[in-house]
Structure 1
Amino acid sequence: MRRARLAARCTAGALAIGVATSLLLAATPPASAQSTVDDGADLASRFTFAVLPDTQFYSRYSAEQFQPRYGTDPFATQTQWIADNADALRIPFTAHIGDVVDRASVEAEWQAADNAMKNLEAAGASYSILTGNHDVLDSNDALVDTDYDLTAEPFLRWFGTERAAADPSYQGSDPTGFSRYHVFEAEGQEFMVLTLPWRVSDATLAWADSVMAAHPTLPVILTSHEVLNVEADGATPRETAYGLMLWDKLIAGNDQIFLTFNGHFHGASRLTKINDFGHEVHEVLIDYQMAYEGGNGYLGLLEFDLTNGQINAQTASPWVVSKPQETLASYDQPFLEGAQQQYSIDIDFAERFAGFNPTFGEGTTPDEHSLTQRARDILLDGFEGPDPISTELPGDERDFVEAEGTVAHWRFNGLDGVVDADTVIEDVAGDNDLRRVDPASTDAVGAEWGDVTVESTDVHGFSSDGAAVCFADSSATRYSYLSTAPDAVVNDVDLSDGYTIETFVKLDADWNAAQNGWSKALVRTGNRSWTEMPPSRWDYTASPTALGISNLREFQYSSLSADAAKGDRVNWSGEIMTGSWSHVAIVNDPETQTTTMYVDGAPVLRNAVDTVGMTWNEGMPWILGADWVDDAARNGWHGCIGETRIIDRATTPADWLTQRADLSGLQISSAPSGVLPAGTESVTFSGTGLPGADVVVATSESASEVVAAAVASTTTAAATTAAVVDPDGRWTITMTGLSAGSYDAQVTQSLGARASDPVTAQFSITAVVEPTPTPIPTAPGEGGGSGSDSGNGSAGTAEGALPATGLDQGVWMSLLALGGALLAVGATIAVRARRRMRV
């Protein structure tokens, strides 16, 4: 059986990658055939609860992309795998947590969802399903479930209560039909799953209260599309106003609710809260729609261990392991193993439920080994996957990959406060600096200098720049922007042979479609009507190339290829969360004639084809922070923009700003070695390394006793010396103030907090030995002495042996030779002196 490859990686702790979901993939360890959850050799009462997070893109692109490529889609693969393994993994229930489809008005998407859920129904596998914001015709926050026209809602037509009633776990619904409750049995115990729709009414909350009151002994798992959000680091939980409303009005006052699941927000997180009864409630977010292929088939598998009091969770993808080997990309990992993707929750079920169900026990059949490990074994059987994408947090602002072909790279570190007329945003790759355009010289309404500031407290975790420019109070009419100079070289750069555009962007938390929809972050200004582009209804007088956000919070990249006559080519992302950073890379590849958008490392599903290069209008600048239509700026970016780079070729993720500089090339070409002469006080190291990196030589010196009479004690010391690698990649370090002893030198190069593995060098310095005074030889009968060894310090030393002083034999031999020479000279002088005295 082939096993999944093991590959080491370092993580961001998070993202990052505040990272969106695909940065979570980049920031988690690779799958291993060995479970990191204790498999519990003892038998226990166990079952698995399955969770299906947002499937909207699986439904949307089933017929268009997945079926032609694979013959199926991730949604159908997930449900078929659950059906096939329900017995082996003891799965009594599966919960879908909303956003079943992407566009509620499109029948084909509901058809794809219908086909997927039929797999569970055909196997007799119980499940619940609920509405997310994409599953209702109008998801306006001002509306609640009782405001909808129930006869018009597609969800109720495709997944209405009549269909739900065919499931034996189904127990009832609220008057709208959106909210339902199910009861399933596992290991001799019963649990309730309570589902709530997108934007619940007070009437429905009252219904939910009544359902629990009618079943007062059942532990309740609450599922809703929104309860918990996630911070920009991709791991830390963030509470929402809607989630807090559910807590205050429903969860905190119902001790039966011990666990919640939701999707909607891109990523994975958990939060444990204490309810009104002093008991823990575990809130869990799981949503991977912004990952590769719209989520790459990841689902939640939660093993309930009733005997040992644990819920063991893992995030797995039946879709990844089902794909043909030749189609696998680095994103295709069968398991995600970050702290919020594989974890254990300690819960003494009997104690936790004692307040409403004092008879709840440990289950009736303690006969099962780890179901978590069994799920891993099933998924990994025969699977050989690719190595995952690996990245690290930057050590400092220098820690990024210098990309060949960079024509402009704008960075903000070193700046602070308001961006005014004197502020220069440096192009670190050339002479294409950005400056703020005076608000008074534009058509902006109410814009002020103070609207644009450089911030360094909240940036994308994988940007080494550590700063960003933020645009406040922006709208269609109030805007500010940064621009290259009229004569900047980048204005007329020819990108006909392909290109890469990278940037880091964030939408403000108060972003709204009415004020900020269709705004732009980065634009190559101009007018499409000046090109060979055929007249069109939309955007005919817009700029040739622009990256922005739609009114549905989707990244949109719109560009004319080098052959403008082919018309507009557009890339679209999925829904982007406000208040969270994203890394966006746009890669135009002439070989494939495609333009691919990557969000936090993962390619989006809707990419442009039949496109090579870029059309531009001569002399027109690049701008950050606003759109450019009808020969003027408009639609300001409401949020922040981080470092931004333009490269004149197609690149791969290894070249991007989310990757780290290569510190592995440190070499020592010259270093001290062996035994150095006595009195040596300085030594020189030299070699090659990464230009701009810090090189440090650290030594630990141990001066051993040379001879008892010459060295009174053993001393230790340490020395550290640093240098910066020259632009040509060379470095030299001279260490001074050295003394006798043995040295173990550790040479490393670093960029701030991130350092290379050390390269070592060893040497020693001979000690200066003062000769021991010796008696002057006398003629027979002169003076005392019988020629014995007493008092000469050599007693107890065998003939020919060297004293155990810690010095190597070569040093001892040198010292002995020196000592012998000194003794001979002393003896000669003494004899001559006696002869003179006799005369």
Structure 2
Amino acid sequence: MCTSHDHAQGEAAQAGAGRRGFLRATALLGAAATTGIVLPAVAEAAEQSVRRPDSESRRFTLAVMPDTQYLFDGPSINPAPVEASLRYLLEHGGKGDENIVFLSHLGDLTQNGAEEEFAAIGEAFGILDRRGVGYSVLAGNHDVRSSTDDQRGPTPYLDAFGPRRFRSRPTFGGASPDGYNTYHLFRAAGREWMVLALDWRLSQRGYAWAKDVLARHPKTPVVLTTHELVAEDDSLSAYGQQLWDGLIEDHDQIFLALGGHFWPAGRAIRENAAGHEVHLHLTNYQNRYFGGAAMIRLYRFDLDRGVIDVETVSPWILGRAAEGLNELERQEIELSGDADRFSVGIDFAERFSGFDPVPARPARPASKMLIPGTVAYWRFDGHDAGTAVTGTVRDLSGRGNDLTVVSVGGGTLAWSADHHPDQPGHGSLEFDGYKSPLKGAWLRTVDAAPLNSATFEGGYTIEAFYRLPADWDAGHNAWSGLISRTGRNGSVGPVTDDPDEPLATLSISDGPGPQWAAHPLNQRQLATNWGDETAREKWWHLAVVNDGRHTTMYVQGCPVARNPHPAAVGIASAGLPWLLGGYEYAGKIDQILHGRLGDVRIVSRALPVTSFMTH
């Protein structure tokens, strides 16, 4: 399946465009905060604009809000920055924008843990409550008596943000009996994710509860949030280390853990008991202008690119830009330091494989691959891996295009169990070609094979799976053929290019990358399609599709850039065999594949991407 991959730079630009669209509402809100103007209509408009996130998109955002305590401090309560950030989430939560799926607050909502402070911030979070948006909060040391743990009993924090506030929320999973620890489940990228929000200090009961929650959701990846975790770059606080030792290290589901409390922002990485990396981040901006101005950190997950792109922004200051920012605001509108704007590379499938492995796609019967127009289909499963290929490799289409082994320099060809994850047959051929001195083995169609004379005037689709090893070297292995047609280019008439090239070859260039060069019936030269470089030690699917007029090469179902525009009809033939793993020049074997070749299919018509063997 072809997937569109945007670069981080483009993603940031997209986010910037979204923020510009938000300025009008937040600018007025910012003005209201500084002038005392009440603008309920604007607030309602911002809240009414909420768009539901796309739970199937493989790109989504988790928003994080750290310590807001200085905005809710006794007589100097100022909810405007928090309200602007929350409305930003509503404005940008939907499909096609940030796709924000959840918000996590990291504690120290208030300065003194007083009732009036919690009443104010509780009212601000009503913006999300009224729209049913999922979020989590947790108690920091300023929200409760810092000398206590989660068994402290009733508090103004619990009155404002206890479990009963979240019970009607679809993302709310449950709370510990004391009410200070909660877990939340949301759907993104087509699967379930958890935010495990833990109190400022866990008791033994709190640890037991958290372990039970994880045990009841054994296949769910978890973002752990707490108030204190990382103290500075590469360093956990004493309590953070306790949390690591007592919970995080032995629970592979926790791949990301976030905390506040200290400043400046920092990061640490630890290896858990399963041998996987856990990313631990410190996020806190209360020491910056306007108590941090309710900055939010956006964790943009992209499962196709295998990355989390992180950005830190203050929607409240962004919204004030229309008025003209003061000197300090200009420094805080967005943070671009290494600890504030960065990317975290994660191979999500590999990282989650220990607790939720992706089931292997089962092999599909050869009969399912014999679609109308199939003229040849070869697959290489059902053999003992490592043993030599001998005798005849049958054409499963029943058309008689069987293959026999040819070798030079004592080379051999072996069976392998390795295969592309979407390949119909669970096996491949192991070629070990070498240029100088020439050594290796390859396959050729039998002399009576109908394929040898086929010219495909009505179009064709040629598909193959391949994988190059780490030691593939351009000096010895470049320009070997995956599939090629023998016969000199100049043997079918006068040509304007090299007459000694073969009539058709799907080769691996010195990139390494795929190249299709074929002599069409309506031209006097080879027409060439060039693919981009393809990584070693990874399986790739190739398809060359001719619709009777033009030829297009696809890699992993995606069209390459360098597909020629001139009309190309069919493939010229000298009535000679096709080769798998071999390449001839001037009528003699010149290069042999060094790598693995999986299923190969040739169909005498153009196929859509949805009919490729990967589907």
Please state which band the TM-score falls in when normalised by the shorter chain. 0.3 to 0.5
With normalisation by structure 1, the TM-score equals 0.35
Higher CA-based Rg: 1
